[in-house]
Every structure is written in C-alpha cells, then in structure tokens.
Structure 1
Amino acid sequence: MAPAGRRRALTQDTSSRHDPELRAAARHFGRRRFFSVTAAAAALAFAADLPARGVAAGTELDAARIPDDPFTLGIASGDPLPGSVVLWSRLAPDPYEPDGGLPGQYVPVQWELAADERFATIVRRGLAIAYPEYNHSLHVEVEGLEPGRVYYYRFRAGSWISGTGRTRTAPATTAAAAELTYAAVACQAYHDGYFTVHRHLAQDDVDVVFHLGDYLYEYAVNSAGGAREYTDRKLPDLFNREARTLDDYRLRYALYKSDPDLRAAHAAHPFVVTWDDHETENNYAGAISENNDPPQEFLLRRAAAYRAYWENQPLRGAQQPSGPDMQLYRRLRWGTLAQFDVLDTRQYRSDQAYGDTLHPPGPESDDPARTITGATQERWLIDGWRDSGALWNVMTQQVCFSQRRFDVGDGARTSMDAWDGYRASRRRVLDGAKSAGVDNLVVMTGDVHVGYAFDIKEDFDDPASTTLGSEIVATSVASGKDGAEKPGNWDTYMKANPHLKFYNGRRGYVRVTVDRQQARADYRTVPAVTTPGAPVTTAASFVTEAGRPGLEPV
C-alpha cells in the first residue's frame, strides 16, 4: 500500500510503463519469457554462487570459535503439514553487518525437536549447514512426525543455544478435525511504530499464524527508528536508504527480526507467510516497477528481494527462488475442516490500469485479458477447490478482494491495485468457486492498514444479490502509526459499500476460530503503537455459519 501522497507518476508514452510493445510483452507473452529476453543476467547473478543441496561448499568454521550469540534474529517454524514442519534460524552474531558478523565459511548447526518443552523426550535431531551463500540461514524440513500435535525445537552452534520454539503439525488430511484457531497479520512498517501487536499475538492461543504481506518495508529507517523515536540507542546509517540490493534487503530483515516482539511471535507459533509489494517495492506489478525502472534492472532488484525473503522466512526448499522467479503460492490442509490456498498476487499480475491511480472501473481495468494471479495460479486455485474435501475453503492473500468504493454515487473511484482493478480476474475466481461447489468461502486479506468485514456478493452493485462468502481483512501491525477507531472517511465508506459490515482503523490482528458449525473472527486491536506496551482488546466479533455465507456481529 502506498503511503499517503505517494502516487506512481504518469509519464510520457516513451516510458517503460506506457510503451505499448513493452506492456504487451509483459501482459501477453508472460513474465517468464519477458525475463528470458531482458534479464538473463539475473539468473546467473543469483544462482552461480549457490552450493548444491546437501553439499558443503568452501571451508568449515568451527562453531566453538563464534565469540558472540549467533541467534540474535531468533527462530521460527512454518508451513505445518501432517508429518512435517519447517524450522528456521539465521546465524548473525552482528546482525547489523552485511555478513551478520561471520566469515565466508559454512557452519554446522545442531537442531533438536522434542515432545516437551524441557527436551526430556527428543523426537528428532540432526545437523544442518548454515551456508554463507544463504547468509548463514537454516531451513530444516523435519519429516516423519505425528500429525496434529505440538512440538518444541531449538538450535545449537558450538556452545550457543537458541531460544526454544513451539510448533505443531497439521492433522492428517483425512482427520475430521473439530476446531482450528488461526491468526492473520500484515503490514509491519518498523519506522511507524512498535510491534506490540506481535507481543499480544505471542501470548494468544492460536494454532498457526498467516502473515499476509508487507513483512518489511523497503523505505529508509532513520537513526531514531522513525516513529519509535529511540533516545537510548541509534540505528546505523546503513538503514537510512531504500533497500535495492541483496545486502540492503538482508539487512532490513535483520533490523525487523531484531525486534523482540516479532521474535516472540515466531517462537510461539508456526507461521505461513506470503508477500505483498513492500518486500520488494511499493505497488510493483510483475516485471514492472513503480518508478519505471528498466525491466532488466527491476528484475535484478526483484531477484535480490525474493532471495532475501526466502533466506529469512520459514519456507521449504520448494519455495527457493531461481533468479527473479519464486513459486510462493501453495496449499495447506487442516484435516477435512479447512483448506488454505495461499496466493501470490504480485509476481504474475498485469500492470495496474489507469496509471495506478484511484479510478472508477472502465474499459482498461475491465479488460478480460487482465489478471491479478496469472493464468497458471488461477487454474491451480480453481482446480484445488474442485478437489477439496474441506468444509471451509480459505483463500489467504494480499489485497482487497471485495469491491471497495471510495465515494458515494455514480463514478465512484476504486483501487486499481486491488481486485477492483482486475474485475474480470475476480469474476473468474468467483465463478470457479461456484462451479467447484465451494459453500463456505473465506478470504483473508491484508494491505490496507485497517480492519474490514465484507460480505462477498454475486453482484457488488446489488446489495440484494447472493452472498457467496466472507472477506476478513486484518489491519496492520504497525503501518499507519496509531490510526483511529473510526477514520475520517468512515461514514462515506459505510454508505458507499453496503456489503461492508465493519471498519476500524486501529492496529492489531484477527483471530479466527473455525469449527464444524461456524467461523468466528475476533478483531483484536491496540490503541497505540508509537509508544510501547499498549493493551489489546477485541474491537468486534463476527460469525459466519457453515452453509450460510455472510458475516453477522456477535
């Protein structure tokens, strides 16, 4: 989401954004072919220095010689399957240095997974290699676990032992799981405030956390930490610039993961992550940058951002990027109770219509050839619904899915960066859900720094049309600073969007409890993030009953 006042500038027709041939190449021939023509150097730059999987390249660093705690960025787990989970950490005794304070040598690291927090019953243990080529990050895919149970894990490098993390596996795919509680978070601009929301999330009893994008922001962070206004310490100047290079993105993750509240949330719960725009650049679309950078240059930047993202998240090897390409969309199941389709609405999308300005729907935005998911991901999503045996089908993604009009009356503007700018794409997805017989559709969304509750309508311009599902929009962790319970445009938005049931502008997260009868969404908010330690309350709760789409207040 662009900050207030920042808009993608309209340029002359000779720019990369408006060149008809370039736009046709990006839209019709596909990003992969476009990449092969203009940015072959990216694949070489970001693949040639990677060791073969399981092969130790270079020389070994004796972990006993690491003088300071290498686990400064914490630990994490993610993508729980019935018999497997991913464990993550990154060795960085000096996290604010590009190399994390370690030489260009690989480091053997021991890991343990236990049935209890005291590690009296070790279930699995092994040795992983932290390669310098991956910035000494670790991605351990532990297999052969029992489905539907809690585990504890930790890492050891020399005499240094990480904190203890708590994770869990999903139930067996055929298990009739009775209940699931998950949380959704998004948009955590470090420079806009403290991650108090994550501290409360760490203390909440949820099974899994879905991070819906903008895990970090590419924007500069000054020495005072922006709105945090540090007086007791000073951040290095290297953060006070926009992230563009691999070192820049790696260091930005180090800054964010140095936050104790974010580390606590990761240690407490497994995360399922997907990105939006700011992990790379604000409002980029496929191979097209916000600021009209030559595509070959932007794809190099995207390759750096994607690689740093994978290095710093609990993701499996299947998500490891190749150059500027990374298949992030994937599917997870929670027995027969819920299926989660995790989308990527950035990498494959068509360029935003009308110069990415707020604009009423029109011929450009309604072009049937336009897509926000790409054709392959769209087919994958709809085919997955046809094969789903789950009671609840949850689409976890980034930008507002439901229509969101910013004005009352004819000619109302909508966001060209959200699904409103890709209405044909939304129509195909909804028609696919209907044809697949999806009765209980829930869409989870981030991006907009407010909490919304939408009914998903067959025809958003007809309030009496059939309700097809529910959209639950998580507000930001910190982006937008403190916000307001009732923003100044509250009345306008509620009048312009009859399917909008709730609108709150505070920071927080959403906790969703799903069982065989209903799904309940609790909007958890804090009154401030520019000062630390704010309490959390439930601003509102809504329920949608199985077989009866639509949200009702509790």
Structure 2
Amino acid sequence: MTEGVVNRRTLLRAGAIVPAAMLLPAGVALAHGKNRPVLTHGVQSGDVTADGALVWTRADRPSRMLVEVSSDPSFRHRRVVRGPLLTPETGGTGKVRLRGLVPGRRAYYRVVAEDLDGRTRSEGVVGSFTTPPLLRRDVRFVWGGDVAGQGWGSNPDLGGMPLFAAMTARRPDFFVHSGDTVYSDGPLQEKVTLADGRVWRNVVTPEKLKVAETLDEYRGQFAYNLLDPKVREFAAQVPAYAQWDDHEVTNNWYPGEILDYCLLGLR
C-alpha cells in the first residue's frame, strides 16, 4: 500500500486533537471546560466506497456534528460537511456520509461538535482513510472479531487491548469486522483467576457488569470498547466493514429469531 506524505501514526499522535480555533469561522468563540462540547469516544469511518465514506462520532451534550474533509493532512484546502444533531435520542452519536472524494486517495477528516447556539465548538478530532481505486491494485487489510468476549475485556496490565495497536502498525487499507462486535450477553468480572494462579484484570463499567437489558446498557457495550486509546487510534486510522454475528444479541442468535425474554431471564 502506498503511504502518503505524512505517516498516519505520526499524524494521529501529533494532531488527532486539533485546536478548534484553527477551524472557527468569524464570530465563533472557543470556550473552555464545561462550557464546551467534548467528543467522548473519538471518530470512526466505515463503508468506504470509491468516492465516499461514513464518519461517526459522539458528543457529551446536544450539539451539531461538523466534518471538515481534505486530501491534504494540513487541511489547507478543505470543505465542511454539516452533519446531524447529536442528541440524547441517539446517545449523543451521529454519522455523516462524505461524498465526492477522489478514488484511490487518502482522505483526511476533522470532526467538531458545535453548541446548538452556534457560539462554541469542541476541539477537533482527526481521522483518515483511503478510498478504493478504480483500477486493480494490491491492498492490505486485517480481519477479526469477538471483541471483549468470553470474559476477557480490556486489561490494564497489558495496556488495554494491544491487538488493536498491532493491527494499526500493519497500516491496513481497511478492517473486516466479522461479528461479535460486542458481547451484550457476556458480563465481565473485574478479576479472573487463571489456571496457573495468575490473575487477569478487566477494566469494567456498570454496563459491562451485567447482561444488557436496556438501550443505555446496550449502547454501553459499544462505548466500553472505545474507552481504550488503542481502539480509538485504530478506528480513526482504519475504516471498517462490519457485520453482526450472535453476541450482539445473545449466544447463537440469528437474524429473524424471536427471543423469549422470559427464558432469557430479562423480564
């Protein structure tokens, strides 16, 4: 895979959090602290086509999603795409489809959340992806699934989920997520004693301590994975094509299956 002028890993580390003053139009102030929206779980891209892609983020309060897109990592030449409102009804999340991109080129995007009064904005968070070429050429991709399942979550003794850092280091064009994106039916324990006496530790959240029964608990399954900086770095640099398996719902679930919640103990 051909690399761009700027190394993507260096770009993310040096500029993933971009001062919003760099992209503020006249009349928009840069607030600080609690008066300013925050993008809580980074950015992601996916479903990339030859001329576009979906971009996702989440904010900590009602706000408007704005996305700058450029073929230049410095964003000297850019256009702004106005996205949806980020509200409690969507868990603060939103997505935008970018269109009109050049096939076979690296695209850089920068997301901010703008307060509903239009006066303040969050810091910008940068991501990037490569659009597929129109002509045949070699590509590099990574494949995986089963995230934070079977009792094994983000281990602070290992720095979280180190596999995502290993995949980022391969500099893939895209990631095929082959299901079990979360284990909504698989609670985590804070500590698991292994057969040899060692202890595996999990980062835990209230949502991951029990089977997901409510919409907020279900959203918490996905939010858990994005607590890990390695996962957020990977998501910002590598677009995904994702499918479901069964544990997004429950073990051995299949599309169209009608679940008996009484048997599942979810009354």
Q: TM-score under structure 2 normalisation?
A: 0.71
> Counterpart of 2:174?
208
> Counterpart of 2:140?
181
How far is 1:210 from its partner? 0.7
> 1 CA distance for matches of 2:100 and 2:130?
13
How far is 1:236 from its partner? 4.1
1:229 alignment partner AA = R
3-state secondary structure, aligned to 2:39 = coil
> 1 CA distance for matches of 2:42 and 2:66?
15
The question of whether the paired residues in 2 share the 8 Å contact of 1:79 and 1:85 is answered with yes
By percentage of residues, which structure has more strand?
2
1:170 alignment partner AA = P
How far is 1:111 from its partner? 1.4
User: How do 1:105-184 residues align onto structure 2 when only pairs under 5 Å count?
Assistant: 106-157=62-113, 158-171=120-133, 175-184=134-143
How far is 1:238 from its partner? 4.3
> Counterpart of 2:38?
70
> 1 CA distance for matches of 2:239 and 2:56?
10
The question of whether the paired residues in 2 share the 8 Å contact of 1:74 and 1:162 is answered with no
User: How do 1:433-512 residues align onto structure 2 when only pairs under 5 Å count?
Assistant: none
Match among 221, 233, 249 for residue 188 of structure 2: 221
Match among 45, 54, 76 for residue 86 of structure 1: 54
2:54 alignment partner AA = V
> 1 CA distance for matches of 2:161 and 2:127?
19
> 1 CA distance for matches of 2:192 and 2:121?
33
Check 1:127–1:257 CA distance in 2 against 1; reply closer, same or farther (3 A cut): same
Match among 243, 257, 265 for residue 287 of structure 1: 257
The question of whether the paired residues in 1 share the 8 Å contact of 2:112 and 2:125 is answered with no
Deviation per CA, 1:437-466: give whole Å up to 9, x if none: xxxxxxxxxxxxxxxxxxxxxxxxxxxxxx
How far is 1:176 from its partner? 2.6
> 2 CA distance for matches of 1:64 and 1:284?
47
Query: For structure 1, which runs of at least 5 residues remain unmatched after alignment?
Result: 1-61, 93-101, 302-554
The question of whether the paired residues in 2 share the 8 Å contact of 1:75 and 1:162 is answered with no
3-state secondary structure, aligned to 2:245 = coil
Check 1:239–1:83 CA distance in 2 against 1; reply closer, same or farther (3 A cut): same
3-state secondary structure, aligned to 2:166 = helix
The CA RMSD over aligned residues, in Å, is 3.0
- Higher RCO structure (Cα 8 Å, ≥6 apart): 2
Match among 219, 223, 236 for residue 250 of structure 1: 219
> Counterpart of 2:152?
192
The question of whether the paired residues in 1 share the 8 Å contact of 2:68 and 2:80 is answered with yes
Check 1:87–1:66 CA distance in 2 against 1; reply closer, same or farther (3 A cut): farther
How far is 1:65 from its partner? 8.0
1:202 alignment partner AA = T
The question of whether the paired residues in 1 share the 8 Å contact of 2:53 and 2:99 is answered with yes
Deviation per CA, 1:373-431: give whole Å up to 9, x if none: xxxxxxxxxxxxxxxxxxxxxxxxxxxxxxxxxxxxxxxxxxxxxxxxxxxxxxxxxxx
> Counterpart of 2:3?
none
How far is 1:239 from its partner? 2.8
> 1 CA distance for matches of 2:88 and 2:247?
25
The question of whether the paired residues in 1 share the 8 Å contact of 2:66 and 2:80 is answered with no
User: How do 1:204-353 residues align onto structure 2 when only pairs under 5 Å count?
Assistant: 204-218=170-184, 219-223=186-190, 228-229=200-201, 235-285=204-254, 286-289=256-259, 292-293=260-261
**Aligned pairs, number:** 218
Q: TM-score under structure 1 normalisation?
A: 0.36
How far is 1:153 from its partner? 0.9
1:192 alignment partner AA = W
How far is 1:294 from its partner? 5.7
Query: For structure 2, which runs of at least 5 residues remain unmatched after alignment?
Result: 1-28, 114-119, 154-159, 194-198
Report % sequence identity. 26
How far is 1:138 from its partner? 1.3
How far is 1:64 from its partner? 5.0
